[in-house]
Chain A
């Protein structure tokens, strides 16, 4: 009986106690102490767990991204390479079209060749092309492109030939000033420019005049463009003009050329 009463009293006290504490908004001092003591550990553990979880997730995320990145980089490099190849093909196409257009205007037999090497010396201006005796090339044949005269073949092997450019100091081309028909000889200077020698001072030569081949040297057909006058120097004691010529051909960017196999000794400009 006492046990039952004690149990009821305990329940009543418990209910009263609960009803009293439920009305209080702030915790007692003990609760604060407990919270202050435990919360930092809770925080530490929770943050550690979150940190570990984040690292774990990020790790997998990064692994996935790295793989994806690798694949994308590979695709990008392939795309860049393809673009570059297309660009190169496009440029080659343009150059070859120019060459074919130019070839259509030439009645002589020509052979297209590719430049495969340059002179090892800085002092001499020659190039090696990938056509030789087997393709009908012989010494002395003129080499041209649509912009103008390139040079002449000076050595031939079975499948390759050496071409001396008109800027080489050994080169000489009999030429005319297109506007006034004044004659002279274009000589190489081993630089990017040439000189037009033996033009009499009585002849009119101006900056910008176009120089063409005269055809009188027996190598180059008549009427082919060579370059333009970039400087005229007058010397009082000289009977000739000193004329500096800038060639139309950019020899630094020479890639494909035409070798004229049979040069006809008549006016180049009058032919179709």
Chain B
């Protein structure tokens, strides 16, 4: 059931950010929607379930993007490890501010890795102004909406889980 949920959400998010959002002017510089999902997986799901899925997700995104292969794989893996590390020191729970900051940190981290790749490609100083604008917009979006996405994922998964359990229980009773 979890795998079904994870795959459905990822498919939805990937399609949303590659086909719909680029054509909506206020959202064309929105951050990577998979970052809150990775933070959610890191915070709420066991390693054996989430880690292979995160690696798979990075692989898919690397194939869809025009960036150097491995950029998303690297970002998602280290973001996952970073969030797991943070939870060893901070009790995140349902504290929205901390969640928002973690998502914003993840967005910043992804952008820094992309900028690192750009530096390797030899981009010019003129680009720095645009880069700063893009990073700022994305981080601000993440601060204000990151925790909402996480709450949505948690709620959706728990409701879906409860729904499946109910169906399973009814089927057993009837059987």
Contacts and interface: CB of A to CB of B under 8 A. Distances in A.
> Do these two chains interact?
yes
A121 B67 contact: yes
Contacts of B173: none
Contacts, number: 71
A240 interface: no
B114 A121 contact: yes
A219 interface: no
Given A119-B66, A120-B32, A191-B127, A170 B121 contact: yes
Interface residues of B, number: 29
B18 A123 contact: no
B64 A123 contact: no
B126 interface: yes
B66 A170 contact: yes
B73 interface: no
Contacts of B63: 155
Interface string A101-125: 0000000000000001111111111
Contacts of B64: 117, 119-120, 128, 162
Interface in A128-166: 128, 154-155, 162, 164
A169 B121 contact: yes
A175 interface: no
- What secondary structure prevails in chain A residues at the interface with B? loop
Given A169-B121, A170-B121, A120 B65 contact: yes
Nearest 9 pairs of A and B residues by beta carbon = A126-B66, A124-B66, A118-B22, A117-B18, A123-B114, A124-B67, A121-B65, A191-B130, A119-B66
Interface of B: 14, 17-19, 22-23, 28-29, 32, 61, 63-67, 71, 111, 114-115, 117-118, 121, 123-124, 126-127, 130, 134, 138
24 contacts: A117-B64, A118-B19, A119-B18, A119-B65, A120-B17, A120-B61, A120-B65, A121-B32, A121-B66, A121-B114, A122-B134, A123-B115, A128-B64, A155-B63, A162-B66, A170-B66, A170-B121, A189-B124, A189-B130, A190-B118, A190-B123, A195-B124, A252-B22, A252-B28
